[in-house]
Amino acid sequence: MATTVDTEPRRVAVLAYDGMTAFEMGIAAEIFGLSELSDLFWPGVDRPWYDLRLCTETRDKVRIVGGATLSTPHGLSELAAAHTVIIPSVADIRAPVSPRLIDAVREAADRGARVVSFCSGAFVLAAAGLLEGKRATTHWRYTAMLQERYPAIDVDPRPLYVDEGAVLTSAGCSAGVDLSLHLVRLDYGPQIANVVARSLVAAPHRSGGQAQYIESPMPDHGDDTTITDSMTWALAHIDLPISLDELADRAMMSRRSYLRQFTKATGTTPIKWLIAQRIDISLELLETSDLSVERIAGMVGFGSVVTFRHHFTRIMNTSPSEYRSTFTAA
Same domain, 146 and 295: no
* Residue at 74 is within a domain: yes
Mean pLDDT, all residues of the chain: 84
Distant-in-sequence, close-in-space partners of 151: CB < 8 Å, separation ≥ 6: none
* Residue at 274 is within a domain: yes
Same domain, 15 and 130: yes
Same domain, 289 and 148: no
Where residue 28 falls (left for φ over 0; alpha for ψ -120 to 50; beta otherwise) is alpha
- Give the span between the Cα atoms of 227 and 258, in whole angstroms: 8
* Residue at 216 is within a domain: no
Same domain, 133 and 268: no
Is the Cα torsion angle 253, 258, 264, 265 positive or negative in sign?
positive
Same domain, 32 and 148: yes
- Is it the case that residue 246 has pLDDT exceeding 80? yes
Dump pLDDT digits (tens) for 268-291: 899 999 998 899 889 888 888 889
Tell me the residue range of the domain where 183 lies.
10-200
From 168, 200, 232, the end of a domain falls on 200
First vs last C-alpha separation in the chain:
26
Average pLDDT over residues 209-230: 56
Sequential DSSP letters for 34-48: -TTHHHHHSTTEE--
What CATH number is associated with residue 281? Answer: 1.10.10.60
Same domain, 242 and 152: no
* Neighbour count for residue 26 (Cβ, 10 Å): 12
Dump pLDDT digits (tens) for 85-96: 999 988 888 999
What CATH number is associated with residue 149? Answer: 3.40.50.880
Burial of 214 (0-12, 13-18, 19+ CB in 10 A): middle
From 200, 233, 262, the end of a domain falls on 200
Same domain, 143 and 232: no
Same domain, 112 and 26: yes
Same domain, 35 and 111: yes
Amino acid at 71: S
Q: Of 45, 16, 210, nearest to 118 (Cα)?
A: 16
* Residue at 2 is within a domain: no
* Residue at 172 is within a domain: yes
pLDDT confidence of 40, banded at 50, 70, 90?
A: low
* Residue at 112 is within a domain: yes
pLDDT confidence of 292, banded at 50, 70, 90?
A: very high
From 150, 169, 200, the end of a domain falls on 200
SS3 115: strand
**Could you tell me how many residues make up the chain?**
330
Same domain, 69 and 182: yes
b vs e for 246-274, b when ≥16 Cβ sit within 10 Å of the residue's Cβ?
Answer: bbbebbebeeeebbebbbbbbbbebeebb
* Residue at 214 is within a domain: no
Same domain, 44 and 192: yes
Dump pLDDT digits (tens) for 44-70: 556 678 999 999 998 889 888 888 898
- Give the span between the Cα atoms of 24 and 153, in whole angstroms: 24
* Residue at 3 is within a domain: no
Bigger pLDDT: 288 or 154?
154
Going from the C-alpha of 113 to that of each of 85, 121, 132, 167, the distances in angstroms are 7, 16, 17, 9
Element at 167 (helix H, strand E): strand 167-170
At residue 173, the pLDDT reads: 78
Same domain, 253 and 193: no
When divided into structural domains, the chain yields a total of: 2
Dump pLDDT digits (tens) for 205-216: 555 555 444 433
